[in-house]
Amino acid sequence: MSNPNSPNRQYPLERTRNIGICAHIDAGKTTLTERVLFYTGMIHKIGEVHEGAATTDWMEQEQERGITITSAAVTASWKQLKEEGIFKLRENEDIRVNIIDTPGHVDFTAEVERSLRVLDGAIFVLCGVAGVQPQSETVYRQAEKYRVPRIAFVNKMDRTGANFDNVVADVRNKLGANAWPILIPIGAEDNLIGQIDVVNQKAIIYSDDDKFGSKYVVRELEGAEIEKGKEAYDNLVAAICDVDDEMGMMFLEEKPISIRDVKEALRRAVIANKIIPIAGGSAFKNKGVQYLIDAVIDYLPGPLDIEPQEGVSADDPNVKVLASPDDAGKFCALGFKLWSDKFGRLVFFRVYSGCVKKGDTIYNPRTRKSERVGRLIQIQAAVHKDIDACYSGDIAALVGVKDVRTGDTFCDEDFDILLEPPTFPEPVISMAVEPKTKGDQEKMGNALQRLSEEDPTFFVRTDEETGQTIIAGMGELHLEILCDRLKREHKVETNTGKPQIAYRETLTKEADGEGKLVKQSGGRGQYGHVILKIAPNERGKGVTVENKVVGGTIPKEYINACKAGCMEAVINGIIAGYPVIDVHIDLLDGSSHEVDSNENAFKMAAIFAVKDALKKAKCQLLEPIMAVECSTPEDYQGDIMGDLNKRRGKIQGMETRGASAILKAEVPLAEMFGYSTAIRTLSSGRASYSMEPSHFEPVPQNIVEQIVEQRGVK
């Protein structure tokens, strides 16, 4: 195979890693990112999240709240550790690591989704005390969807109640992952002193007198460590043999298995998504991070280790097209994030093949337009550095590209490829927003437009009946942050209405509908006549329309107008005017007039027909249900359960973890407003909770009547 590396690139593809750090809220992602940047020499002072000084939490809102809101990209370079006994697959040379620190809060799930779409590997951070939490499961599923190889890091092993073995069992049982320890913490809580390096059968002991954790010694295993290390090594080798044929054959043929053989086989198994190695440590106490970075280099894939990116032809979606990582190939990249700041509009992109230079022209197959590349920049969180070229496998940003959306492909004009964009969940909550001063109306409209372009889970629409501007997103915090950004970045002060739930309507049985538009008042009239049938669709299938008209009773040229009418009719249901979901419509029959029929007449007739059918189809109102997990000292368990029951919650399960009780429940989103205050009050501030959208369920009839009344629907 010819060399895929351009002679001008600083780091060859095999020495490049694109990784994400993702986890549940407060598992320690940003703290870990900060340590990685420190040990790789990218920063010279460790910034702490609780002090609002972390490099990747650069937005004001992030620093104030101590949470990550937007995924931040940073680039570091790492020399693999030299000490005897530390594994090296390659010669000791610098490795380029592009890191994306993602948010943990469910409201910003789009940030995780789009980051995982373009990354080759991920560090999956878990809390040593809480183990697998609800959002850990969501992030894990997102990584599974994009087939991203992972290493798990059990963080916070210095905290009271931390238990490494419990978390490993949790990962296996709750996530169904084939997870095996490679770096086992020595001690826990205040006695955390180092790690057992399972592959090399050595102990790494960190010096307590060095507050940065840069000093450590590597020694032989002692006492109980010997047995623990040997057992972990045997289990790891057996697990690799089960999933890696090459290693399995060596084992069966009783050939000696060297440390290098173990590493190379483990690397193959991780890249094939068959094993998840687990390391334990404490990012905050600076114990165990360096060896985690070494494991990232050794076991997570570079751009050459993963399958070529598969796209389709922009002209024919049935034709598959591949983009292989090769600097000399045709250019192809995926724009995965838009961001506006004082420099203008940034488009973050990942290059899959070829290279792009300043002044080049790139093509967007969606818009069928070409644009010139004005500026290319490498992102260091909030710091931007101009670069001249960006090669395959790299992540960078373009400045000043117009008409672009999240998930757009950029390529050479003669390279007919369209990459699959990331997918995003539907918003679950909405509210009305208006500017405090009438003069800001247009300014607010433009600002909201820009924010919705940046964030694929943020929607803006105008309510046709009231004329209000409605914004919709993933949760209260999501909308609160966006209103805050309106004020700070776009200088628009707003008033907001009470948050509204994104209810949906659906039908429970089949029904026929007929719609007719007849207007004949001298001259050219309007005539359209449609007969159709509607039926419940599978959950999650959305709205589908099929043409079953025979004999041309509705002329072919009006079928699309009928379909458009059907789609328009389901935007507002008949119970309370909410969108109708999961419905299948068959166009069956109708009639036309050779002079008076036109597209508009048939569109209106189809709308009437759908509305007619919905009235007979026994529609029901659906509401979003949240999966809620509460962690509380046992003393408050009864009060919190009683409160969840009052909120129409269904308790799904209870378990004890240390001194805490974990309650799992499914609760309607409508009942969860202001819950953070309620749970604090009930537990004297000692309980915490997290929630994420689960599914839609029918609304009880007495509540339907209240909703209809509030909406003023007759």
pLDDT score, position 426: 76
Same domain, 338 and 462: no
Categorize the per-residue pLDDT at 112 as very low, low, confident or very high, splitting at 50, 70 and 90: confident
Categorize the per-residue pLDDT at 614 as very low, low, confident or very high, splitting at 50, 70 and 90: very high
Q: Is residue 49 part of a domain?
A: yes
Same domain, 94 and 193: yes
Whether the model pTM is above 0.75: no
Q: Given the structure tokens 């190379």, which residue do they identify?
A: 264
pLDDT score, position 342: 65
Mean pLDDT rounded to a whole number for the chain: 83
pLDDT score, position 17: 87
Categorize the per-residue pLDDT at 154 as very low, low, confident or very high, splitting at 50, 70 and 90: very high
Same domain, 83 and 221: yes
Strands (DSSP E) along 592-659, which ranges?
619-633, 650-657
pLDDT score, position 86: 38
542 Ramachandran zone, left/alpha/beta (phi>0; psi -120 to 50)? left
% of the chain surpassing 70 pLDDT = 89
d(CA 457, CA 517): 38
Q: Is residue 178 part of a domain?
A: yes
**Which of 576, 594, 617 is the last residue in one of the domains?**
617
Same domain, 202 and 221: yes
Mean pLDDT, range 566-591, rounded to an integer? 90
Q: Given the structure tokens 């000399």, which residue do they identify?
A: 328
Mean pLDDT, range 206-228, rounded to an integer? 79
CATH no. for residue 684?
Answer: 3.30.70.240
Please determine, for residue 713, whether its predicted confidence score (pLDDT) is greater than 80: no
Mean pLDDT, range 234-240, rounded to an integer? 94
Instruction: Give CA 2 to chain center in angstroms.
Output: 36
pLDDT score, position 714: 47
Mean pLDDT, range 249-269, rounded to an integer? 90
Same domain, 250 and 350: no
Q: How many helices (H) and strands (E) does the chain have?
A: 16, 37
Which uninterrupted H or E stretch holds 605?
A: helix 599-616
Q: Is residue 24 part of a domain?
A: yes
Kindly report, residue by residue over 452-466, the tens digit of the pLDDT: 888 888 888 887 666
**Which of 460, 476, 497 is the last residue in one of the domains?**
497
Categorize the per-residue pLDDT at 239 as very low, low, confident or very high, splitting at 50, 70 and 90: very high
pLDDT score, position 169: 93
Q: Given the structure tokens 């994400």, which residue do they identify?
A: 20
Categorize the per-residue pLDDT at 57 as very low, low, confident or very high, splitting at 50, 70 and 90: low
Phi, psi of 532 (to 5 degrees): -145, 175
Of 485, 486, 491, 455, give the one whose Cα is nearest residue 473.
455
Categorize the per-residue pLDDT at 87 as very low, low, confident or very high, splitting at 50, 70 and 90: very low
pLDDT score, position 83: 44
Phi, psi of 300 (to 5 degrees): -85, 150
pLDDT score, position 387: 85
pLDDT score, position 229: 93
Please determine, for residue 269, whether its predicted confidence score (pLDDT) is greater than 50: yes
Same domain, 171 and 118: yes
Mean pLDDT, range 602-615, rounded to an integer? 93
Weakest-pLDDT range from 73-82, 445-454, 464-473: 73-82
% of the chain surpassing 90 pLDDT = 23
CATH no. for residue 397?
Answer: 2.40.30.10
Q: Is residue 138 part of a domain?
A: yes
CATH no. for residue 563?
Answer: 3.30.230.10
Per the model's pLDDT, the better-predicted residue between 218 and 233 turns out to be 233
The Cα-based distances of 383 to 75, 119, 197, 339 in angstroms read 11, 21, 36, 14
Categorize the per-residue pLDDT at 393 as very low, low, confident or very high, splitting at 50, 70 and 90: confident
Q: Is residue 6 part of a domain?
A: no
Same domain, 267 and 279: yes
Weakest-pLDDT range from 65-79, 131-145, 322-336, 483-497: 65-79
Per the model's pLDDT, the better-predicted residue between 253 and 78 turns out to be 253
d(CA 530, CA 524): 20
Categorize the per-residue pLDDT at 442 as very low, low, confident or very high, splitting at 50, 70 and 90: confident
Domain, as residue range, for 674: 621-711
**Which of 277, 299, 321 is the last residue in one of the domains?**
299
Kindly report, residue by residue over 650-668, the tens digit of the pLDDT: 999 988 876 678 899 999 9
d(CA 674, CA 694): 19
Which uninterrupted H or E stretch holds 151?
A: strand 150-155
Q: Is residue 451 part of a domain?
A: yes
Of 687, 488, 511, give the one whose Cα is nearest residue 615.
511
Please determine, for residue 397, whether its predicted confidence score (pLDDT) is greater than 90: no
Q: Is residue 9 part of a domain?
A: no
Of 178, 186, 181, give the one whose Cα is nearest residue 198.
181
Same domain, 357 and 381: yes
Per the model's pLDDT, the better-predicted residue between 85 and 559 turns out to be 559
Q: How many structural domains is the chain composed of?
A: 5
Same domain, 469 and 404: no
CATH no. for residue 105?
Answer: 3.40.50.300
The Cα-based distances of 100 to 71, 72, 305, 649 in angstroms read 6, 6, 19, 36
Please determine, for residue 642, whether its predicted confidence score (pLDDT) is greater than 50: yes
For 195, counting Cβ atoms within 10 Å of its Cβ (0-12 exposed, 13-18 middle, 19+ buried), the class is buried
Q: Is residue 5 part of a domain?
A: no
Mean pLDDT, range 503-528, rounded to an integer? 86
d(CA 417, CA 315): 9
Please determine, for residue 631, whether its predicted confidence score (pLDDT) is greater than 90: no
Say which amino acid occupies 646.
K
Same domain, 224 and 341: no
Which uninterrupted H or E stretch holds 180?
A: strand 179-186
Mean pLDDT, range 221-247, rounded to an integer? 92
Same domain, 695 and 655: yes
Please determine, for residue 509, whether its predicted confidence score (pLDDT) is greater than 50: yes
Same domain, 220 and 317: no
Contact by Cβ (8 Å): 100, 71: yes
pLDDT score, position 49: 56
Mean pLDDT, range 386-401, rounded to an integer? 85
